[in-house]
Amino acid sequence: MHWYDALNTYFPIEEMKSRPHIEALLRERGHVYHVDRDEHHVLLYVEGEEFVFVDYLLVKASARGQGLGAKLLDRLKAKGKTILLEVEPTDYDDTDTVKRQRFYAREGFHHAKRLSYRRRSLATGEVNELEILYWAPDETTTEDDVYRHMKATYEHIHTWRDEEFYGERYQPVDEALTLAGK
């Protein structure tokens, strides 16, 4: 199975970028957008000067429980930059969301409590709410920094050429991503 198909099978449609979008990012923005994959995992991430944004992290079911997810995150942590990611809110009726939140908490990730991320899915038309988690190499990273990095990711990765790939545009960043107290 192609690595994109594995992602597309695992992640909800409202969270997935199209294959042409991802392939164009890798081809045209390969200086910042990267794929790390093998038969056990797929990791797509953005690396900026100050931060790393995990776009997709999939450890295949056959390789779970062996520490591979932690090892992949450790590779990113070794870069010494703030790491950001989007995650579904905990739904106690969906054990995967509970396990995912526990995993990231064990790995030292914190909720960006002042950030709200609500993006309308172009695939479903529904508003998809995700939580922003972050890991920082030191205590100097603030939620203002996280907001600034997420804004850059939204504008330069998530909505990059969106009309071309999806036939319409995502809402402006200030509608999708807000910071309380700003």
Coil/strand/helix, residue 45: strand
Q: Is the pLDDT of residue 3 over 70?
A: yes
Token pair 């709200």 is found at 116
144: left (phi over 0), alpha (psi -120 to 50) or beta: alpha
Cα separation values, 142 from 94, 115, 133, 139, Å: 31, 11, 12, 8
pLDDT in tens, 64-80: 888 999 999 999 999 99
Residues 38-58 as b/e (b if ≥16 CB within 10 A, e otherwise) read: eeebbbbbbebeebbbbbbbb
- Separation of alpha carbons 150 and 170, rounded Å: 15
Q: What pLDDT score does 17 carry? A: 97
pLDDT in tens, 5-32: 999 999 999 999 999 999 999 999 999 9
Q: Where are the domains of the chain?
A: 3-179
Topology given in CATH for the domain delimited by 3-179: Aminopeptidase (3.40.630)
Average pLDDT, the chain: 94
